Amino acid sequence: MKVEFRNISMTYGTNLVLDDISLSVAEGEFVCLLGPSGCGKSTLLNIAGGFVKPERGEVRIGDEPVTGPDPRRIFVFQERGVFPWLTVEQNIAFGLFRQTEAERRSRVAHYVSLVGLRGFEKAYPRELSGGMKQRLEVARALAVDPDVLYLDEPFGALDSITRLQMRRELLRIWQAEKKTILFVTHDIDESVQLADRVVVLSARPGRLRRIVDIDVPHPRDFSDPRYIALRDEIFCEIGLAHQV
């Protein structure tokens, strides 16, 4: 489903956090919202999710304006969003209360194996690693067959090796399920590895600085000159020298 931000502005108190953001995301597209901490990118995602009302402007999904949270678009947090009192199966089935028992069971089985949690159906989140919990949360979101997935720095709490694996997993799932994905991150490499387009936001107030098309085919090679060129371009755009 197409997601369209129309002239979104937002202030908290006297602070302007988002300044006139307009952006159109095509159906099935993977878009990263990239910006420094406090640039309002999470706020933008929360507005798209219907959890926060923008001060001005609106978000339209398909032909409808967003007026509140909706199971057709699911928000994925860091792995802490899974319900610790439910097993893996029960977490995935959480949103499936409108389905029949048979439908519920087949969807749970499908997504358990899609995210590689077979054998852990009866496990509780405390028995899972951080990466497994994150995959569980993605499975719970996908199980209700949403049109759009919103991911808010989902891999931020994972170690760097798990994070790389999770990105590969997410791309595989995205290609299998063909969802529209909006992914918030402050990690430039992550955005270039994942997105079709990277939307670069400026620091406070968040303004749309640039949209960079990542025209590198998957699987992306980190040493591909085109990959490096695009990454460097975004580094410069954000105003960082690529040296430590």
Partner 1 sequence: MRRELLERIALPLGVTVALIAAWHLAVAVSGTSIFPAPADVVRGLGEQPRLGGYIRDSLFRVASGYLVAVVLGIPIGLALGWWSGLARAANPLIQMLRPISPLAWMPLAVIWFGVSNLAPIFLIFLASFFPVVVATMNGVRNIPPMYVQAGRNFGLSTAALLRRVVLPAILPRVAVGLRISFGIAWLVLVAAEMIAVDSGLGYLIIDARNAGQRYDLVVGGMLLIGIIGLALDGLLRMVERRVTW
Minimum Å distance from CB 190 to partner 1?
21
Minimum Å distance from CB 100 to partner 1?
17
The contact mask relative to partner 1 for 152-191 (x = CB under 8 A, - = no) is ----------------------------------------
What is the rounded distance in angstroms from the CA atom of residue 221 to the CA atom of residue 164?
A: 13
Minimum Å distance from CB 215 to partner 1?
33
Minimum Å distance from CB 73 to partner 1?
8
Q: Does 144 bind partner 1 (CB under 8 A)?
A: yes
Residues 6+ apart with CB under 8 A from 174: 30, 181
* Cβ 204 vs Cβ 211: under 8 Å: no
Minimum Å distance from CB 238 to partner 1?
28
Strands 56-61, 64-65: pairing is: antiparallel
Q: CB-wise, 150 or 205, nearer to partner 1?
A: 150
Q: Which stretch binds partner 1 (CB under 8 A): 2-10, 24-32, 83-91, 226-234?
A: 83-91
Q: Does 80 bind partner 1 (CB under 8 A)?
A: yes
What are the backbone angles phi and psi of residue 194, rounded to the nearest 5°? -100, -45
> Could you tell me how many residues make up the chain?
244
Q: CB-wise, 80 or 242, nearer to partner 1?
A: 80
- Counting Cβ atoms within 10 Å, is residue 64 exposed (0-12), middle (13-18) or buried (19+)? exposed
Minimum Å distance from CB 242 to partner 1?
34
* Cβ 70 vs Cβ 14: under 8 Å: no
By CB under 8 A, name the one of 63, 85, 217, 243 that touches partner 1. Answer: 85
Both tokens assigned to 209: 């600085």
Omega cis (within 30) before 125: no
In 3D space, the residue among 45, 49, 4, 8 whose CA is nearest the CA of residue 24 turns out to be 4
Q: Does 120 bind partner 1 (CB under 8 A)?
A: no
Q: CB-wise, 126 or 178, nearer to partner 1?
A: 126
The contact mask relative to partner 1 for 38-77 (x = CB under 8 A, - = no) is -----------x-x-----------------xxx--xx-x
Strands 197-201, 180-185: pairing is: unpaired
- Counting Cβ atoms within 10 Å, is residue 146 exposed (0-12), middle (13-18) or buried (19+)? buried
Q: CB-wise, 144 or 158, nearer to partner 1?
A: 144
Binding site residues, partner 1, CB under 8 A: 49, 51, 69-71, 74-75, 77, 80-81, 83-86, 94-95, 97, 124, 126, 144
